[in-house]
Amino acid sequence: MVRSNHIEQTDPKVHAAVRDERRRQEESLGLIASENHVSEAVLEAQGSVLTNKYAEGYPGSRYYGGCEHVDTVEQLAIDRAKELFNAAHANVQPHSGTQANMGVYFAVLDPGDRILSLDLTHGGHLSHGHDVNFSGQFYEVEQYGVEPNNGRIDYDSLANHATEFDPDIIVSGSSAYPREFDYERIHEIAADVGAYHLADIAHVTGLIAAGIHTNPVGDADFVTASTHKTIRAGRGGLILTTEEFSEQINKAIFPGSQGGPLMHNIAGKAVGFKEALTPEFTEYAEQVVANAETLATTFSERGLSLVSGGTDKHYVLVDLRDSHPDVTGSDAEECLHTVGITVNKNTVPGETRSPFTTSGIRVGTPSLTTRGFTQSEMETVGNAIVDVIEHSEDRDVLEDVSTLVDRLCEKYPIYD
Ligand SMILES: *Cc1c(COP(=O)(O)O)cnc(C)c1O
């Protein structure tokens, strides 16, 4: 699939860019917490003839003829999602995690209703009510944050905030909060104020599917997920809910906010979910977290401050202000890029710089774990990252790290 020569003949420019991107992935160390590498099987499903088929509606009830085979595919994706998360209902059509959140809001909120969610600079997501996103423009939003002293959510103050604000929906879940959410507690808080609870598990989909993180199904009315971060099912979104809300959710996605489903991506989800049901995937997810713990220990030993002091998840969030007040998140990101290490700059709680500069970096382990990295390689990579941050002007250090990156990439290829 990946090496097909049809693109080369039809469109040499796109072919060259795809080839270069493949090379970039193979020849650098990807530590962006929201990225991963899907299997050849998922790539093949996504590059299949299913992209040609219109299938508005749901399996067994479509607005187009000829849907018998795509029905099979979508039903497999649905059944596997239900099994992975022990959910009564799954909608596998959202084109992305943001579309999944839009579907939930559209299903149960009216314009002007109230959302209570985690602050973006404390780890929240744009689709949780940021003012540049539709969610901030259609709804009235207040945000909760983490405590300045320990970087953690204080659930008593969240309960008080909910009582004062009286939200219609409380959103749990984050892009950059390194600790697990207490879904049960948020469920109680939501029930007390008569709000829905939406758990957005976009980042930890795979950790929950593998059974190593708490599953919010049962404690949340709606669970939204992305299918391309810690789970390797290709780019897309997913909604899980109860029997009670199944119709409302289906209608909110189609015809409410999307048109025809991307059947090739749904095929990717079906295949990726099947892979996630195996014991090998559980081992993978355990290794992802073990690798993040190793990164946390390595960084701490080298004097870097971590938001919340460590991690329960697949990434650490480094706050550079204590150890390296003159190094911004974007300085670190750029310098690491020059030696073939990819991370992203990230805002930290109490951020004093702009989101384009930031004072932190987020460093994640899903991609390298897919390549086969274990704790010893992660310790090596963690030390290399600190070396680069500390000696960003020293050409010998940068050259040494560059050589190390080449060696590791060669030893752990992504695709054969
Ligand atoms: C990544 C993410 C999403 C989904 O993002 P898409 O890019 O729209 O797929 C949603 N919520 C959170 C918390 C995320 O981290």
120 in a known ligand binding site: yes
Q: Which residue puts its alpha carbon closest to atom 6 of ligand 1?
A: 97
| Cα angle for residues 408, 412, 416 (degrees, 5° grid) | 140
pLDDT at position 3, please? 55
Does the annotation place 355 within a ligand binding site?
yes
Q: What is the mean pLDDT of residues 197-204?
A: 98
Report the mean per-residue pLDDT for the chain.
97
Tell which CATH architecture fits domain 284-411.
Alpha-Beta Complex (3.90)
Q: Within 10 A of 19 (CB to CB), how many other CB atoms are there?
A: 14
Please give the helix or strand (H or E) that residue 360 lies within, else none. strand 360-364
- Of all residues in the chain, the percent with pLDDT exceeding 70 is 99
Please determine whether the domains at 44-276 and 284-411 fall in the same fold group of CATH.
no
Q: Is 238 marked as a binding-site residue? A: no
Q: Which two tokens stand for residue 160?
A: 């008080």
Q: What is the average pLDDT across 388-405?
A: 97
Question: Which residue is closest in CA terms to ligand 1's atom 3?
Answer: 97
Distance 199 CA to ligand 1 centre (A): 12
pTM, whole model, 2 decimals? 0.97
Domain limits, the chain: 44-276, 284-411
Instruction: Provide the edge-to-edge strand list for the sheet that holds 305-306.
Output: 305-306, 315-319, 360-364, 344-346
pLDDT tens-digit map of 329-361? 999 999 999 999 999 999 999 999 999 999 999
Ligand 1 centroid to 247 CA: how many Å? 24
* 354 labelled ligand-binding: yes
Give me the pLDDT at residue 285, please. 98
295 is in an annotated binding site: no
Ligand 1 atom with the shortest distance to the CA of 176: 15
Separation CA 310–CA 316 (nearest Å):
7
Q: Given the CA of residue 96, which atom of ligand 1 is nearest to it? A: 9
Q: Give the pLDDT score at 345.
A: 97
Ligand 1 nearest-atom number relative to CA 173:
13
**Residue 124 is labelled as binding a ligand:** yes
The CB density around residue 162, as the number of other CB atoms within 10 Å, is 21
Q: Ligand 1 pocket: which of 98, 99, 235 to mutate (most atoms <8 Å of CB)?
A: 98
* Binding-site residues, ligand 1, Cβ < 6 A: 34, 96-98, 125, 127, 173-175, 200, 202-203, 226, 237
Q: What percent of the chain has pLDDT over 90?
A: 98
127 Cα–ligand 1 center, Å:
8
CA of 202 relative to ligand 1 center, distance in Å: 5
CA 225/CA 202 separation, integer angstroms: 4
CATH architecture of 44-276: 3-Layer(aba) Sandwich (3.40)
The answer, yes or no, to whether residue 1 has pLDDT greater than 50, is no
**153-199 tens-digit pLDDT:** 999 999 999 999 999 999 999 999 999 999 999 999 999 999 999 99
